Structure 1
């Protein structure tokens, strides 16, 4: 079975942001997202793979037998857009997406150009709903 590429690393989050994010505004927003997601999740940021900043973790197992660990929520400050890993497909989150603002949706990832394009309180609700969903259906560091 293939080994997971996206695993928690020892890279320092601030070092990553300062070296990887070239645009000053995006760098500032990256640190803002670190602060927000730390507060929402209750976890300190950790690097996952080479470019994902994650908060907390959970263990998943697919029907195929493939399993691994992933951040509860997280983001990556890609060149063209932020990739937000905060979405679990629930009825509540589908309704919240309608209120989020300007974004594009991948399979389980929300892409935004900048924070001012979205409503931060709605992003918080989506994140909280996803954490609750993960807590219910997966072995999770969010259980206290």
Structure 2
């Protein structure tokens, strides 16, 4: 069904989190995992080799392309955390103005270190993204 390169793997999220380098990123990734679990109510699942996803949705574009993808999640990268808020084309500028130091991609928020952002505001952003996504494509538990 899904032609996505990024798909659930069944790998252990806990093992992945423990192996993140450097150690500071591992500690932060574990903190992000706690936040995402609390905010979403979903259990984490590995998507591909390095993305931790929470929930999923099925999409079908007007072109006929369809598949499954994670509803929200993050990837702890060496330089910065990549945080996935779907759908990426929504305007979250009011929330982002209160978040703290970050950079934006299409559906991705880049944060160098968690101390740079307000985690309560990040939780608000995650909730807003899930609500907006669910209004387009229903979000299901992992």
Q: TM-score under structure 2 normalisation?
A: 0.91
Q: Which residue of 2 aligns with 1:65?
A: 64
Deviation at 1:2, TM superposition (A): 8.2
Deviation at 1:18, TM superposition (A): 2.0
Deviation at 1:59, TM superposition (A): 1.0
Q: Which residue of 2 aligns with 1:133?
A: 132
CA distance in 2, matches of 1:56, 1:32: 18
Give the conservation status (yes or no) of the 8 Å contact 1:87–1:126: no
Matches within 5 A, 1:21-60: 21-60=20-59
Deviation at 1:80, TM superposition (A): 1.1
Q: Deviations over 1:102-133 (max 9, x none)?
A: 01101110000110101111111111111111
Deviation at 1:11, TM superposition (A): 0.2
Q: Which residue of 2 aligns with 1:76?
A: 75
Q: Which residue of 2 aligns with 1:95?
A: 94
Deviation at 1:87, TM superposition (A): 4.7
Structure with greater proportional strand content: 2
List alignment gaps of at least 5 residues for structure 1: none
- Number of residue pairs matched? 140
CA distance in 1, matches of 2:130, 2:2: 27
Q: Which residue of 2 aligns with 1:12?
A: 12
List alignment gaps of at least 5 residues for structure 2: none
CA distance in 1, matches of 2:127, 2:102: 19
Give the conservation status (yes or no) of the 8 Å contact 2:86–2:130: no
Runs of 4+ in 1 over 6 A off after TM superposition: none
Q: Which residue of 2 aligns with 1:114?
A: 113
Q: Which residue of 2 aligns with 1:124?
A: 123
Q: TM-score under structure 1 normalisation?
A: 0.90
